[in-house]
Chain A
Amino acid sequence: MALLEVVDVRKRFGGLQAVAGVSLDVAADEIVGLIGPNGAGKTTLFHLISGFLAPDSGDVRLGGTSTRGLKPHQVCQHGLARTFQIVKPFQALTVLENVRVGALARTRALGAATRKAREILALVGLDHCADRTARGLTLADRKRLELARALATEPRLLLLDEVMAGLTPTETERIIELCRAINARGIAILLIEHVMRAVMTLSQRVVVLDQGQVIASGPPAAIASDPQVVEAYLGEAYGSAPEGRRAGA
């Protein structure tokens, strides 16, 4: 039984079928990449999995228990944490206080939660600015803060929404290492990403979404050379296949 089971989930907004019967699994130790052209329904799928949206039909199961219809904070209690495409730091709070909010999901006591938060900050590499207000952080640090906050809730599965967007190659590399470290601690990761290099190196498996449907699923190398995927991206795919190189590399 996989940790996350998305079973034939559908979501419609008025005339638009944003998610049209998506099924996917994430095992408890996996890193799965979710890619697809803009508008494919990836973030909508994240909203559906994390409880921000309710599916019209289908089911979402975390560790065997259905989370369909649960509110986001309940889904978090079940062990799922997510980041947002546009980071949402608690601007007026310090970095430490930000992460502490996440830690409080598992520890009632403020003191213990603060200690936990410091540990997470050290892991993530933000301990040097623990007492700085989140408002003043660089983009890279804000992304790491978002990650740290989610980590502090002790998730079994982490949903990362374009966590590397807007970062320099060095910063991207550091986040990739961080994801590996997180995964090594036994946390599964499902990440939406457009930075192909990152997705391909990090993920053990890649799922491709286009127009609300899964069009391909498999190891990164296979996906990169899948003609359907290349077609969907129209040349944006990263791959060793000649078509990919010519079109978009």
Chain B
Amino acid sequence: MTRGLPTSREAWLGAATVAVLLALPAVLTSYAVTVFILIFFYGYLGQAWNVLGGYGGQLSAGHAAFVGVGAYSTTLLSMHWGLSPWIGMLVGGVLAAGLGAIIGGLGFRFGLRGFYFVLLTVAFAEVCRIVALNTDALGGALGLYITFTGDPWQLQFQDNRAYYYLALTLMLLATGVVALVERSRLGAYLLAIREDEDAAEALGVDTFRCKLAAIVLSAFLTGLGGAFYANYLFSLQPNAVFGIPLSVDVIIRPVVGGAGTLVGPLLGSLILSPLAEVTRIYFTRPGWAGFHLVIYGVLLIGIVLFLPRGAYPHLRRAWTRRRPDA
């Protein structure tokens, strides 16, 4: 995999894709627009995760904590102090970054890797969930409800398509950030850490600082997404916004699409969001609510066994093998 400046073919492909995506709402039904909003939004969260989990190789199964912190802080600031979510979003991001600094600072300081680090992230997310569930000031078990005003200043829109463009912008923003990281020293170092942390240390890489930077950046971006979550879904419930299912939703797109690649999270989201929607529609009987998670589980197993690096690397290899002059 080369990671220099994009080739002219890649640049054209990227530009063409963006152009198509920008034009799409004109031809899509309202429902299809909704599906794309989900594709972009969860793709965005996946891309944010990608910094830490894909490039850095530090598996976090607790990213819902960052979404939740962002969502709750934006909403509370709006509810109690009338702060516009556009600004509250940044506050949410910073707070989430702070939580990331704590988790990373503690976890990496104490040398937690692999399974131990995963557990740590899960534990922190669960602590957040339980605290939110039991704190009345945060809405307790009922959570928070946001009134729909359709006021753009409140990050709310009458027209679905506005959400579409916002989600698309977020997705492109995250992808841009990841592209910058990819082409920076931090990016090269993160990949080295992912492959072999000790070898990286021996080559002068301050692995602690790099991993910390990764988790803080990842958490900040995810926290920003929390604001979108709050003002698109209009309800924040601790179990939904801090729970494992959301963390799984975040991880699965980059893992399926290709962790550690620029395109992976979006590709994964393109595959999975429609899938999740379909299962949601066809299995509406009560109790079948968890069925899409069964599919996620099967997919995870399948990916690990057959496409361990995700769909994108394999697709790319198949493509370049067919066109050796590429």
Interface residues of A (CB under 8 A from B): 50, 52, 71-73, 76-77, 81-82, 84, 88-94, 97, 100-102, 104-105, 108-110, 113, 131, 149-150, 152-153
Contact = CB atoms under 8 A, between A and B. Distances in A.
Nearest to B57: A92
B191 A108 contact: no
Nearest to A76: B204
B185 A76 contact: no
Contacts of B1: 92, 94
A105 B1 CA distance: 22
Contacts of A149: 199, 203
11 contacts: A52-B201, A82-B202, A84-B198, A91-B196, A92-B194, A101-B205, A102-B203, A102-B204, A104-B188, A105-B203, A109-B185
Contact of A110 (B183, B192, B202, B205): B183
A88 B200 CA distance: 9
B184 A110 contact: yes
B199 A84 contact: yes
Contacts of A105: 203-205
Nearest to A149: B203
B257 to A, nearest CB: 16
A97 B188 contact: yes
Interface in B127-175: none
B321 interface: no
B192 A73 contact: no
Contact of A88 (B3, B183, B196, B207): B196
Given A97-B3, A104-B185, A110-B183, A88 B199 contact: yes
B201 A72 contact: yes
B204 A52 contact: no
B199 A73 contact: no
Size band of the B side of the interface? 20 to 34
B206 interface: yes
B188 A101 contact: yes
B189 interface: yes
Interface string B282-326: 000000000000000000000000000100000000000000000
Nearest to A72: B201
B193 to A, nearest CB: 9
B2 interface: yes
B205 A73 contact: yes
A76 B201 CA distance: 8
A61 B183 CA distance: 36
Nearest to B208: A71
B273 to A, nearest CB: 27
B188 A100 contact: yes
A101 B1 CA distance: 15
B198 A101 contact: no
A73 B207 contact: yes
A90 B184 contact: no
Contacts of A90: 191-192, 195-196, 199-200
A101 B3 CA distance: 13
Contacts of A52: 198, 201-202
B191 A104 contact: no
Determine which residue in B1, B194, B203 has the highest number of CB atoms from chain A within 10 A of its CB, and name it.
Answer: B203
Contact of A73 (B3, B184, B194, B206): B206
A108 B196 CA distance: 21
A77 B202 CA distance: 10
Contacts of A97: 3, 188, 191
Contacts of B192: 90, 93, 101
Contacts of A76: 201-204
Contacts of A113: 185, 188
Determine which residue in B194, B206, B260 has the highest number of CB atoms from chain A within 10 A of its CB, and name it.
Answer: B206
A153 B204 contact: yes
A71 B198 contact: no
A131 B199 CA distance: 20
A73 B202 CA distance: 6
A82 B199 CA distance: 9
A96 B250 CA distance: 32
B202 A72 contact: yes
A73 B196 CA distance: 14
Given A93-B192, A94-B1, A108 B201 contact: no
A90 B1 CA distance: 13
Contacts of B183: 110
Given A76-B204, A93-B195, 11 more contacts: A52-B202, A72-B198, A73-B202, A76-B201, A88-B198, A90-B195, A101-B203, A102-B203, A102-B204, A110-B188, A153-B204
Contacts of A101: 188-189, 192, 200, 203, 205
B108 to A, nearest CB: 12
